Amino acid sequence: MRLKCFTLFAALLFFTNHVFTSYVNAQSFNLADHKKRVTIPFRLVRNMVVVQLMINNNGPYNFILDTGVGLMIITEPKLVDSLNISYKKTIQLYGLGDGESFEAYIASALNVTLPDIYSNGVGAVIFKQDHFGLSNYAGTHIHGLLGYEFFNNLAVEINFTDNELNICRPQDLKIGKKRDKIPITIENRKPYVEAQLVLPDGTKKKSKLVVDIGAGHALSLEDAAKHEQGYPKLTMANLGMGFTGPISGFLSRINRIEIGKYKFRNVLTAFPEMDAFKRERLMTKRDGNLGLGILKRFTITLNYHDHAMYLKPTQRFGEPFEHDMSGLEFFAGGPDLRHVIISRVEPGSSGDQAGLQKDDEILSVNLKPVSGLSLEEIDEYFKSRNNRGVLLEIFRNKKHMSVLLVLKRRI
């Protein structure tokens, strides 16, 4: 599956001024007084952790939990009217992409709640237009992203085996012997970890990475392709759509990444390009992002208060890092989000060789109607095995057609 920049690049949210800084620093969540521990289910949707929450006693709304986001973001502009949200001012946002900045609102403090969890002074940035298309990508309605304010006052365990969040106050956190403590720093409302990379030429390099559970990739290294020696041969790729337009960059692999005692080999890595202006606007210098492609191989506990991340490997730990082998990018369309539409075909890919085109609708995969498949299940088909044949039923120009797609490993 290709990188999706609304998860990868939400960490690159910048302001033209810092008047909002003191306001967001006060935002937090807490447990109800009678609770010492709360368990909340989540859904893992195309490598995104989705939770349900209420805003101003309305909802529930689906929000992506994203440590790469420094504050709450409402991506659905219609919520301004439906929730009678007042806002303080308009700001300019910048992100990784080929376009210009765009405007968003700063909302006043909202009443944001999850079961037995309440908010304290949580405001939000609200897009004037939906620049992400998160609902189309996820195949389910997504209303925004929830970041730093959810983690800064709580200890949060993310259990990817049971799809549960186990939450307590930091002073009530109990860590078992089988969990390894990894130091993190909290800078400009984001968690950072130090990792060691081993490049294809054997060079070892310490890297400062955002711990970004909102990023679907395994590893992203910012601008490394142009400025560092020892990186692998790179493949030009379209990395998706960012806040301000298409993302240009490369995909490749590095030999190894080491996080504490844990080592991952042959790691799929993205190298997004970033112009000098946007690079200078980074509030914290870093080398890249550590994403869910690696993090979901653990049960993770984040404790910002003690500057610690605790890791316990799961059964997914040793799985290989695979990329999409079809060359197809697709989204959920229609008012019910039940239509699967191809948005792009990578030139020279197996999808291109099979004659698939932009705007083709996929009706079935290996004789299974897409109405009975989630988008992530279709993703798994397309990265399942090199040289595997996948039979697609396609609707194009009011005609049905069958296409045999032979998957080819591209990276």
Q: Residue 44 pLDDT > 90, yes or no?
A: yes
224-271: pLDDT as tens digits: 655 566 666 666 666 655 554 556 678 889 999 999 999 999 999 988
pLDDT of residue 238: 60
Rg of the chain (C-alpha set): 21
Which residues face 19 on adjacent strands? none
Q: Is 407 helix (H, G, I), strand (E, B) or coil?
A: coil
**8 Å CB contact between 179 and 84:** no
What is the maximum alpha-carbon separation in the chain? 62
Q: Residue 33 pLDDT > 80, yes or no?
A: yes
**8 Å CB contact between 207 and 294:** no
- Nearest CA among 185, 186, 231, 183 for reference residue 205: 231
Compute the distance between CA of residue 249 and CA of residue 180 in angstroms, rounded to an integer.
34
| Average pLDDT estimate for 289-318 | 96
Q: Which tokens hold the place of 237?
A: 């790729």
Residue 326 makes CB contacts below 8 A (sequence gap 6+) with: 349, 350, 351, 382, 383, 390, 405, 407
Q: How confident is the model at residue 285 (pLDDT cuts 50, 70, 90)?
A: confident
Q: How confident is the model at residue 3 (pLDDT cuts 50, 70, 90)?
A: very low
Q: Residue 26 pLDDT > 50, yes or no?
A: yes
The end-to-end CA distance of the chain, in Å, is 12
- Nearest CA among 280, 281, 145, 268 for reference residue 218: 268
pLDDT of residue 276: 42
Q: pTM of the predicted model, to two decimals? A: 0.89
| Average pLDDT estimate for 390-405 | 96
| Average pLDDT estimate for 373-392 | 94
pLDDT of residue 13: 43
Q: Is 394 helix (H, G, I), strand (E, B) or coil?
A: strand
Q: How confident is the model at residue 282 (pLDDT cuts 50, 70, 90)?
A: low
pLDDT of residue 313: 97
| Average pLDDT estimate for 286-304 | 95
| SS3 annotation, 219-268 | EEECCHHHHCCCCCCCEEEEEEEECCEEEEEEEEEEEEEEECCEEEEEEE
pLDDT-above-90 percentage for the chain: 61
335-355: pLDDT as tens digits: 889 999 999 898 999 999 999
pLDDT of residue 18: 40
Q: How confident is the model at residue 404 (pLDDT cuts 50, 70, 90)?
A: very high
52-101: pLDDT as tens digits: 999 999 999 999 999 988 889 999 888 877 887 776 677 776 654 445 56
- Nearest CA among 324, 195, 209 for reference residue 262: 195
Q: Residue 383 pLDDT > 80, yes or no?
A: yes
Q: Residue 284 pLDDT > 70, yes or no?
A: no
| Average pLDDT estimate for 118-125 | 92
pLDDT of residue 240: 56
Question: Residue 88 gets which letter from DSSP?
Answer: E
Compute the distance between CA of residue 166 and CA of residue 176 in angstroms, rounded to an integer.
14
pLDDT of residue 83: 80
pLDDT of residue 159: 97
Task: Give the alpha-carbon dihedral of 133, 135, 141, 146, to 10 degrees.
Answer: -70
**In the chain, helix, strand, coil percent, each to 5?**
15, 45, 40
Q: Residue 200 pLDDT > 70, yes or no?
A: yes
Task: Tell me how many degrees the CA angle 410-134-273 measures, rounded to the nearest 5.
Answer: 50
152-178: pLDDT as tens digits: 999 999 999 999 999 999 999 999 888
pLDDT of residue 154: 97
Q: How far is CA 249 from CA 14, 153, 240, in A?
A: 21, 36, 10
Compute the distance between CA of residue 90 and CA of residue 106 in angstroms, rounded to an integer.
6
**8 Å CB contact between 8 and 269:** no
Q: Which tokens hold the place of 389?
A: 């044949």
pLDDT of residue 277: 38
pLDDT of residue 228: 61
Q: Which tokens hold the place of 163?
A: 């799809």
**8 Å CB contact between 195 and 205:** no
**8 Å CB contact between 11 and 68:** yes
Domains and CATH numbers, the chain: 5-170 (2.40.70.10), 174-313 (2.40.70.10), 328-406 (2.30.42.10)
- Nearest CA among 396, 389, 404 for reference residue 363: 396
Q: Which tokens hold the place of 81?
A: 């009217």
177-195: pLDDT as tens digits: 889 999 999 999 999 999 9
